[in-house]
A and B are shown apart, each in its own frame.
Chain A
Amino acid sequence: MSLVIIKPGILDSLQDMGRYGHSHWGINPGGVMDVFAATVANALVCNPATAAVLELHFPASQLLFEQNSLISICGADFTPLLDGAPIPLWQPVLIRKNSILHFRKQQKGARCYIAVQGGFEASEWLGSCSTHFKLALAGFNGRRLEKNDQLLFKEPTVYFAALLTEGKRYSVLNWGASVYNSYAWPNEIFFIPGPQMHYLAANHKEFSAANFTIHPSSDRMGYHLRGEALTVNNTTEIISTGVTRGTIQLLPSGQLVILMADHQTTGGYPIIGTCIQAHLPKLAQLSASDVLQLLPVSIEVAEELFYRQQQDLNLITWNCHLHLKELLCKA
């Protein structure tokens, strides 16, 4: 069971939910940029949420499936084409062996996830298969995928071969995940004000009205924002403290950086705030030159939105399992 990279993408890698519990050694969690999309991708093919998935950036890899597979494609819409025919996102798709999947155009979003039933074989380090680029560890040889790399699949846990229709190259199973809630108002990112918010001259209302553009130098480590340089009232230097995914740092230039999946564990720049977890999927789907606004909210709002998102995920996961089971019973 495997797929082969016939043409490599710009930055495609194996990732999972990341490695936690080692940050005090300077080893950051890493993992998928869009946790929500990756979780749904796994749910659609009845994998555990922790199974490794393929994270694609655009231009994305061209893939040859060497085996009959049950897959799902979630997150960014890069116009996936299976042997030239468009296939939908957020739905399980059965494909026959020797099918070629490629991605024509970046329609929407920045990171696309592919899950295969059973999950990918990947090397593990400290309890996670997420590729650690800097250390060149885990995932697929600790690096991004290159031409002719062969990704092995684990044994399927669902007997989906019975669902393949005679003569058809592929079939889209007739259920999908509704993900509107998590991606609505893609450019409005909520954050919880941090300890140095008062370093800025702008009050909350003025700050909310500002537009920030994502600079092309942004990557999995962080998003560099460009806007009118912020007026800073206070220049007291701070000593390094722990930071997290979504933390908004104020650089000496008056510009902001938002830390993303591969961020360092500690930082010594003033912390303006931290984006709420429920909006990290939206943030992960923004690309260079996209514009965003940062809107302060309370902890209570953040926790409520996160809780609802978790509920959505539970519901999606439960329904996906139910649908597939039902279909298998009929087959």
Chain B
Amino acid sequence: MMEIYAIGDGAITLQLGNQVNDFLNKKIIAIQNWIWQNSFAGLKDVVIGYASCTLYYDASIIKQQYHLASSAHQWVKQFLEQAYHQSLVALYTQPRTVTIPVCYDLDFGTDAAALAASKSISVEALVNNHTSNTYRVYMIGFLPGFAYMGMVDALIAMPRKQKPQTVAAGSVGIAGQQTGIYPLQSPGGWNIIGRTPLQLFTASNQPPVLLQAGDEVRFEAISREVFDNWNL
């Protein structure tokens, strides 16, 4: 079910439902790509969620540019309807696969032991499970370059912690059936199971973020030694 609603007078959201799944997310990415290819004067930004796409626009530029009698909102709404009908998933579904090395040492994976214990599995089984699947990057948000990925196996899924703690940059966590990597040190409530030596965010890079929505990610276990020598 598609709906379009205002987020104030400078933004508008197209939403395809309230579920996390690959099918809806692929359509959203197709819509995002269509929008970029058909950009208009006054378009400031595009953000995608799991199953939504939000456009940020300057109403006064749109009104001037297109000599509108009706509202700029109405005009952008029609643009989004067009994006919905004309964007083709097939054109944009070749994902990029990114392998992320992760050290699952318990010094880094501060919540791994508790998570494994609550699921009555060994930490080794937890790591094997986490590294055996391919995860889709559904969206980027929360922090610059923070990728919301899923879905993790129900066996290792774990609700967010009640109390957020300071999480180190590179930490790999699990929240519900999502998995993610903290690009920067930040307060966070995800269950931390390891750490990557890769930089998820580098200000001087173009783009400054390693992962983008639509990417497929595999985690590869590395030893503490490999981790320590990674950036040498």
Residues of A within 8 A of B (CB): 20-27, 29, 125-126, 134-135, 137, 191-192, 194-195, 236, 238-244, 246-247, 264-267, 271, 273-277, 299-300, 302-303, 306-307, 310
**Bound CA–CA A310/B10 (angstroms):** 14
Tell me if B159 is interfacial: C-beta within 8 Å of chain A.
Answer: no
Sampled A-B contacts (11; CB under 8 Å): A20-B44, A25-B144, A26-B143, A125-B203, A191-B8, A241-B13, A241-B54, A242-B52, A242-B54, A264-B141, A303-B63
Q: Are A194 and B6 in contact, with the CB atoms below 8 A?
A: yes
Tell me if B15 is interfacial: C-beta within 8 Å of chain A.
Answer: yes
**Bound CA–CA A244/B57 (angstroms):** 11
Q: Which residues of A contact B11 (CB under 8 A)?
A: 242, 244, 274
Q: CB-defined interface of B83-105 with A at 8 Å, one 1/0 digit per residue?
A: 00000000000000000000000
Binds A, one of B126-134, B207-215, B221-229: B207-215
Q: Which residues of A contact B48 (CB under 8 A)?
A: 24, 242
Q: Are B142 and A25 in contact, with the CB atoms below 8 A?
A: no
Q: Are B209 and A26 in contact, with the CB atoms below 8 A?
A: yes
Within 8 A of A (CB), among B148-192: 148, 184
In the complex, what residue of chain A is closest to B70 when comparing beta carbons?
A: A300
Q: Are A29 and B45 in contact, with the CB atoms below 8 A?
A: yes
Q: Which residues of A contact B60 (CB under 8 A)?
A: 306-307, 310
Tell me if B193 is interfacial: C-beta within 8 Å of chain A.
Answer: no
Given contacts A241-B52, A244-B10, A266-B49, 5 further A-B contacts (CB under 8 A): A26-B143, A26-B146, A236-B18, A241-B15, A276-B9
Q: Are A242 and B47 in contact, with the CB atoms below 8 A?
A: yes
A308: shortest Cβ distance to chain B, in Å?
10
A-B CB proximity, top 9 nearest: A242-B54, A274-B8, A266-B141, A242-B47, A302-B9, A241-B49, A241-B52, A20-B44, A23-B45
Within 8 A of A (CB), among B29-72: 32, 44-54, 56, 59-60, 63, 71-72
Q: Which residues of A contact B47 (CB under 8 A)?
A: 23-24, 242, 265-266
In the complex, what residue of chain A is closest to B74 when comparing beta carbons?
A: A299
**Bound CA–CA A21/B73 (angstroms):** 19
Q: Are A247 and B56 in contact, with the CB atoms below 8 A?
A: no
Q: Which residues of B contact A243 (CB under 8 A)?
A: 7, 54
Tell me if B217 is interfacial: C-beta within 8 Å of chain A.
Answer: no
A45: shortest Cβ distance to chain B, in Å?
24
Q: Which residues of B contact A247 (CB under 8 A)?
A: 7-8
In the complex, what residue of chain A is closest to B208 when comparing beta carbons?
A: A25
A27-B144, A310-B60 are contacts. A244–B49 as well, Cβ < 8 Å? no
A23-B47, A125-B203 are contacts. A277–B10 as well, Cβ < 8 Å? yes
Q: Are B51 and A239 in contact, with the CB atoms below 8 A?
A: yes
Q: Are B9 and A265 in contact, with the CB atoms below 8 A?
A: no
Interface centre among B7, B54, B73, B146 (most CB of A within 10 A): B7
A275-B8, A300-B71, A303-B59 are contacts. A240–B139 as well, Cβ < 8 Å? yes
- From A21, A125, A239, A302, B45 is in contact (CB under 8 Å) with A21
**Bound CA–CA A200/B72 (angstroms):** 28
Q: Are A26 and B140 in contact, with the CB atoms below 8 A?
A: yes
Q: Which residues of B contact A191 (CB under 8 A)?
A: 8
Q: Are B71 and A26 in contact, with the CB atoms below 8 A?
A: no
In the complex, what residue of chain B is closest to A18 when comparing beta carbons?
A: B44
**Bound CA–CA A85/B5 (angstroms):** 52
In the complex, what residue of chain B is closest to A239 when comparing beta carbons?
A: B50
B115: shortest Cβ distance to chain A, in Å?
22
A262: shortest Cβ distance to chain B, in Å?
12
**Bound CA–CA A277/B31 (angstroms):** 26
Q: Which residues of A contact B50 (CB under 8 A)?
A: 239-241
**Bound CA–CA A329/B40 (angstroms):** 41
**Bound CA–CA A240/B143 (angstroms):** 13
**Bound CA–CA A310/B46 (angstroms):** 23
Q: Which residues of B contact A307 (CB under 8 A)?
A: 59-60, 63
- From B18, B54, B63, B145, A26 is in contact (CB under 8 Å) with B145
Interface centre among A22, A27, A134, A238 (most CB of B within 10 A): A27
Q: Are A244 and B7 in contact, with the CB atoms below 8 A?
A: yes
A18: shortest Cβ distance to chain B, in Å?
10
In the complex, what residue of chain A is closest to B201 when comparing beta carbons?
A: A135
**Bound CA–CA A27/B46 (angstroms):** 12
**Bound CA–CA A276/B122 (angstroms):** 53
In the complex, what residue of chain A is closest to B20 when comparing beta carbons?
A: A239
A24-B140, A307-B60 are contacts. A240–B49 as well, Cβ < 8 Å? yes
A108: shortest Cβ distance to chain B, in Å?
26
- From A134, A137, A238, A276, B8 is in contact (CB under 8 Å) with A276
Tell me if B231 is interfacial: C-beta within 8 Å of chain A.
Answer: no
**Bound CA–CA A267/B51 (angstroms):** 13
Tell me if B19 is interfacial: C-beta within 8 Å of chain A.
Answer: yes
A242-B52, A310-B60 are contacts. A303–B71 as well, Cβ < 8 Å? yes
